[in-house]
Structure 1
Amino acid sequence: MRGISFITATFVFAFCAQILAAQGRPAGVVTEIVETKFMAETVTVFGEIVTGRESAVAARVAGVAESVPLRVGDLVSAGDVLAQLDTELLTIEVDQSRAEIDIAKAGLTVADAQLERTDKALRRAETLKANSTIPQAQFDERTSDYAVALGNQQQASARVRAAENALKQAEYRLNNATVRAPFDAIVLQVTTEKGQFIAAGSQVATLLDQSAMEVEANVPARFISALRPAQSVEARTDTGGALGLELRAILPTEFSATRTRPVRFTITSPDASVAVGQTVTLEIPVSAPNEVLVVPKDALVQAQGGWSVFVNAEGKAQPRTVEIGAALEGGFAVLSGLSAGDEVVVRGNERLRPGQDIAPSGARPAAANGTPAATGAAADDTPSQGQD
């Protein structure tokens, strides 16, 4: 028993010695530099990913589907084959139309020859009539022959044009027997199967242009005047992905129940996981960027009657009461209590005592300086809770 008591006493003594030694060392903390930033007041609105171009591609001609080389989810490029119709009959129609052109052109050749012959005969008759050496009846006959030949020639010429138009129609049907993708897209739906008869105008597949997806958000009408064309807006998807947006259009409609107007935004830096119908949170700037002093939210400790921070004062933790304003991106606007360049503790401040020695690490600017940033209050922009 004496041996056990001795070991226990030794362990307790060593543990207490470690605690005393630790209390004598400076507290390890992480700090950041308080800076002024250009910030714009924002309002949070919710939007939705919408399609800018979705097409139900239809067959232009009727026929039986010989092949449908695509499935839902396939990526297709402009010009890729979506469906191939049987072309056997269409090829025969093209050959027949070309034969009809040859027949019509041969008839035109005969009609031209007849017209030329009757024209010469009429010219001779006109010369003889001028000399009064041809009876009137014979002259009238020559005139009538010419008129008939002219009509035949015009009719033959029209047959050629009709045959050429028929060939164009046959070639159109043959060329469009191959249904192609009109743009780069992903296949959302396939509505045709091999061997199925497709009527002209029937849907073959539904395509979605992923590069043309946009965000539509209903913005309160009172903030519309602050929006500008091509204005940059930051947004996040419901999965946490960041989206860069650019204002494209403010639609001239208003919802009376909510007093909001639909606004369309082009996605400039897309998240690969976005999908039509997905919810997006946007921070809409409603004022011009202003220069404000910002303290990181993690530096704030709740104190009696307000908020305070610990400032690194030559290696000692100096408490300082601060007055904060609007919540900004990752921090709060400072109304009083701090100055630009102050080094505040953002990690390890919960257990600090006034005047305690500290060993700062990671002193750095809270964010890039000199560039406007979209800001706004968020659900998690709450200062950390600490000791009074």
Structure 2
Amino acid sequence: MSTSKLGYTLAGTFLAFTLAAASPASAQDAKQAPQAKVVGMDSVRVEPLRQTVPVIGRFVPHQTGVVAVRVAGPVDKYLVRVGDRVKAGDVLAVLVDNSFNWERNRRKADVESARANLQTARASLQLLDQELKRLEGLKESPAFSPARLNDKLQETIRAKSQIGEAQADLASAQADLELGEIALANTKIRAPYDGVIIERHSEAGAYLREGEAVVTMLDDNDLEIEADVPANRISGLEPGRSLKAVVEDGTELNAVVRAVIPNENPRTRTRRVRFVAEYSGTIKSAAANESVTVYVPAGEVQDVVTVSKDAILNRGGAQLVVLNDGGKATFTPVQLGQAIGQRFVVLSGLKEGDEVVIRGNERLRPGELIKNGSEAKKDKAS
């Protein structure tokens, strides 16, 4: 074997031995190196905050009240029960209408009689006109009588007046017939608007006088919010402004100012404000007089530091957040204020731009290495 071949063989053996010896150590070091935990993070930021005060209001309907009978008579039957939903024009109850039917028929006969009298008066006038023309044609004849001509002229004037009377009688009879038709139609009590029957005031067989209540209705499809707002909070409630409102079951909605009633209660120093209720998502079925809390502005807008609610940990009565301090978990106590949606106002302990852990913070220990989950996904994708 040559010297050069022997040198290559020794060098190869030494290199293989060196790699074999180094490999277990390198694997062991890699195994012992600490790994950063992947967590979700969010930044502390500044948001505008307007102080509000809660005002208790209630849902009120645009339309509600009794439906009254328009003609007197006994009730034949009711077609609705309490709780039934009706549309405008639906028949709610029916009065006994026999007398109204016959009264309508009598007035219809009066119209026919008045129309016949008018035709008779017109025929009489036509006959007098013919006689008058014949008399005027005899003016050059010895048989002409001026007195008779004057009599026919007066009779013609009277006939024209009789036609006017007959026309007036016909108009009066037609008006009476129309009133009879209206009275007959009013024996059917109809719903004046869409709504729900909330009370019946009589039963079949009862006699109702004109104007007495038949049912009480409520339109629950178009409810507004009415709240008695302190007078010193009215200045910020211009029409069209949207406020937060919450009903008793926790459903949130927008209350848009429609009108401020210019009438102040001197005892409570409040004014009534009407709001239009705007629901987001699934529409809730509200009820008249249901309570709703409206949050009315109480001051000017302020910029405040806020943190996500998911970042807060409660440990031993203290409120903590896990702060990302250069890739290490640092537990920091914080003092919190009121909630703004899904965030808390930070009174002390954090500043704008701080990164806090919002997912996986419950399992972390102080000083543990952490890494933002969104950044880890970016690194993996690249």
- Normalised by the length of structure 1, the TM-score is 0.74
Paired position in structure 1 for 2:294: 282
Query: Which residue in 1 is equivalent to 2:190?
Result: 180
Q: CA deviation at 1:143?
A: 2.5
Counterpart pick for 1:151 among 157, 161, 165: 161
2:322–2:361 Cα contact (<8 Å) kept: no
**Higher Rg of the two aligned structures:** 2
Q: What's the CA shift for 1:113?
A: 0.8
* 1:199 correspondence with 2:212: no
Q: 1:319 is matched with which residue: 324, 327, 331?
A: 331
Q: How many angstroms apart in 1 are the aligned matches of 2:321 and 2:291? A: 37
Match of 1:331 in 2: 343
Correspondence for 1:100: 110
Unaligned runs of 5+ in 1: 1-23, 364-388
CA distance in 2, matches of 1:195, 1:360: 79
Q: How does 1:215-294 map to 2 (within 5 A)?
A: 215-269=225-279, 272-286=284-298, 292-294=304-306
List aligned pairs for 1:356-375, cutoff 5 A: 356=368
| Deviating more after overlay: 324-333 vs 102-111 | 324-333
C-alpha distance in structure 2 between counterparts of 1:318 and 1:82, whole Å: 72
Once the two structures are TM-superposed, the CA of residue 80 in structure 1 deviates from its matched residue by: 1.3
> What is the alpha-carbon distance in structure 2 between the residues aligned to residue 61 and residue 54 of structure 1?
21
Residue 109 of structure 1 and its aligned partner are, at CA, apart by: 0.9
Residue in structure 2 matched with residue 355 of structure 1 by the alignment? 367
Q: Which amino acid aligns with 2:246?
A: R
TM-fit CA distance, 1:132: 9.5
Q: Find out whether 1:82 has 2:92 as its counterpart.
A: yes
Q: CA contact under 8 A between 2:74 and 2:96: conserved in structure 1?
A: yes
Partner-residue secondary structure (3-state), 1:277: coil
CA distance in 2, matches of 1:362, 1:85: 75
Q: Aligned partner of 2:240: which letter?
A: A
Retained in 2: the 8 A contact 1:32–1:345? yes
> In structure 2, the residue corresponding to 1:318 is in which secondary structure?
strand
Give secondary structure in 2 for the equivalent of 1:90: helix
What amino acid sits opposite 1:283 in the alignment? Y
**Partner of residue 200 from structure 2, selected from 190, 194, 197:** 190
CA deviation profile, 1:143-195 (whole Å, cap 9, x unmatched): 33123212222222122112211211111112222111111101111113122
Counterparts in 2 of 1:33 and 1:114: CA distance versus 1, 3 Å: same
- How far does residue 79 in structure 1 lie from its aligned partner after superposition? 1.5
Are residues 116 and 314 of structure 1, via their aligned partners in 2, closer, same or farther at CA, if it must alter by over 3 Å?
same
CA contact (8 A) 2:39 2:357 kept: no
Per-residue deviation, 1:55? 2.5
- Which of these residues, 92, 108, 115, is aligned with residue 125 of structure 2? 115
Rounded Cα–Cα distance in structure 1 between residues aligned with 2:74 and 2:330: 84
In structure 2, distance between residues paired with 1:302 and 1:247:
39
Deviations 1:76-97 (A, max 9, x none): 1112110112223322222222
- Note the C-alpha offset of 1:225: 1.8
CA RMSD of the aligned region, Å? 3.7
Deviations 1:253-285, CA, capped at 9 Å, x for gaps:
223333322110112228635222222111224
- Report the AA paired with residue 306 of structure 2: V
Which residue does the alignment assign to 2:177? 167
Distance 1:175 1:146, change over 3 A: same
- 1:323-381: CA deviation from partner (whole Å, max 9, x where unpaired): 656653343334662334622448866x9764256798899xxxxxxxxxxxxxxxxxx
C-alpha displacement at 1:302, in angstroms?
8.2
Distance, in Å, in 1 between the alignment partners of 2:201 and 2:248 is: 32
TM-score (norm 2): 0.75
Residue pair 1:36, 1:293 contacting (<8 A) in 2 also: yes
The question of 1:342 aligning with 2:352 is answered no
Counterpart Cα distance in 2 of 1:68 and 1:142: 64
In structure 1, what is the Cα distance between the partners aligned to 2:97 and 2:163?
A: 36
Structure 1 distance, partners of 2:370, 2:55, is 42
**Partner residue in 2 for 1:367:** none
- What percent identity do the matched residue pairs reach? 33
Q: What letter corresponds to residue 294 of structure 1 in structure 2? A: T
